[in-house]
Amino acid sequence: MLPVFGQIDLFEVPRPTPGMGWDRIYRDFTMTDLASKTCVPCKGDVPALKGAPLHALSHRLPNWEVVDEHHVHRVFKFPDFQQALAFVNRVGAVAEQQGHHPDILLTWGKAEITIWTHSVNGLTESDFILAAKIDQL
């Protein structure tokens, strides 16, 4: 049996191009896989991710910090307020399209995004899907 990471067979990772390390290829491959999915509305009928399943998903988005196994958080920095605001507006559009809405803190040159699934008071795969989509903006 082949080792499996989430829904991705580890042997399906593409071959590296010259000058690219496996770590970058694996990260890009797994992030793109998450970003291609759609957030699923949660009615509280699934348990929040904990332990190994949460750990596996968190490694697919290394720029996001998992806080207390409850939410994911990332700070995005910009050279001015206008660019930070434009980014926040793009995040809002993706969130609305996905029906999954993060907490957003906007300040001069910075946007902080915090995501969790309120109905389970913790993290689900949809939180990581939204984070991956935000990373592609």
Q: Locate tokens 């929040």: which residue?
A: 48
Q: Cβ(63)–Cβ(136) under 8 Å?
A: no
pLDDT of 30 reads 52
Using 50 as the pLDDT threshold, list the residues of the chain that sit under it: 1-18, 20-29
What does 100-137 look like in DSSP terms, one character per residue? ---EEEEETTEEEEEE-BGGGTB--HHHHHHHHHHHT-
pLDDT of 10 reads 39
pLDDT of 42 reads 81
Q: What is the CATH number of the domain that holds 74?
A: 3.30.1360.20
CA distance 131 to 135: 6
Q: Which of these, 99, 117, 130, lies nearest to 50 by C-alpha position? A: 117
What does 64-92 look like in DSSP terms, one character per residue? SEEETTTEEEEEEE-SSHHHHHHHHHHHH
Q: Which range of residues forms the domain containing residue 45?
A: 4-135
DSSP lists the bridge partners of residue 110 as: 77, 107
pLDDT digits (tens, 9 = 90+) for 57-82: 999 999 999 999 999 999 999 999 99
Which residue type, as a one-letter code, is found at position 62? P
Query: How many separate domains does the chain show?
Result: 1
